[in-house]
Amino acid sequence: MTNKNTKIALFFGGKISQHLVLIRKATKKLKVELDLISYNRVCFDTMTGEIKLRDHLSSEKEIHKKAKNLNDYDVLFFRTTGKHWEEVNLILDGVKRDDVVIVDPLVEQGRPSDACKAYQMLALKRAGIDVPKTIYGSLFYLRDTASKYFEFPIIIKGSGGDRGTRVYKADNQKQLNKLAMDLRTSEVEDGKRYMAQEYIPNDGDYRVLVLGKKVLGVMKRSSQSKAEFKNNYSAGGKVEVADLPQEIKEMAIKAADVCGLWVAGVDVAFRDFDIKKPVIWEVNKGPQFKGFMQATGIDVPAEIVKFLVSLKK
pLDDT tens sequence across 8-54: 999 999 999 999 999 999 999 999 999 999 999 999 999 999 999 99
pLDDT tens sequence across 224-237: 666 666 767 555 67
Say which CATH number the domain at 146 has.
3.30.1490.20
CB atoms within 10 A of CB 132: 20
Considering the domain architecture, whether residues 29 and 44 belong to the same structural domain is answered as yes
* Structural domain includes residue 121: no
Say which CATH number the domain at 43 has.
3.40.50.20
Strand partners, 220: 206, 240
Per DSSP, the three-state class of 11 is: strand
CB atoms within 10 A of CB 69: 12
Average pLDDT of the chain is 91
Domain with 184 in it:
133-198
* Structural domain includes residue 117: no
Considering the domain architecture, whether residues 96 and 13 belong to the same structural domain is answered as yes
What is the per-residue pLDDT for 63? 44
What is the per-residue pLDDT for 56? 62
* Structural domain includes residue 161: yes
Considering the domain architecture, whether residues 27 and 97 belong to the same structural domain is answered as yes
- Listed residues 198, 215, 235: the one ending a domain: 198
163, 211 contact by CB (below 8 A): no
* Structural domain includes residue 218: yes
Using a 10 angstrom Cβ sphere, with 0-12 exposed, 13-18 middle and 19 or more buried, the burial of residue 76 is: buried
How many angstroms separate the Cα of 106 from the Cα of each of 83, 239, 260, 286? Answer: 15, 29, 4, 12
Domain count, the chain: 3
* Structural domain includes residue 66: yes
Considering the domain architecture, whether residues 24 and 99 belong to the same structural domain is answered as yes
Cut 0.85: pTM above it: yes
- Listed residues 47, 76, 111: the one ending a domain: 111
Considering the domain architecture, whether residues 237 and 303 belong to the same structural domain is answered as yes
Separation between Cα atoms, residue 261 and residue 286, nearest integer Å: 9
Considering the domain architecture, whether residues 211 and 244 belong to the same structural domain is answered as yes
* Structural domain includes residue 36: yes
For residue 84, pLDDT beyond 60: yes
Considering the domain architecture, whether residues 223 and 188 belong to the same structural domain is answered as no
- Listed residues 168, 198, 228: the one ending a domain: 198
For residue 135, pLDDT beyond 80: yes
229, 169 contact by CB (below 8 A): yes
* Structural domain includes residue 116: no
Say which CATH number the domain at 258 has.
3.30.470.20
* Structural domain includes residue 128: no
pLDDT tens sequence across 243-252: 999 999 999 9
Q: Which residues of 185-223 are buried (b: 16+ CB within 10 A; e: fewer)?
A: ebbeeeebbbbbbbbbebebbbbbbbbbeebbbbbbbeb
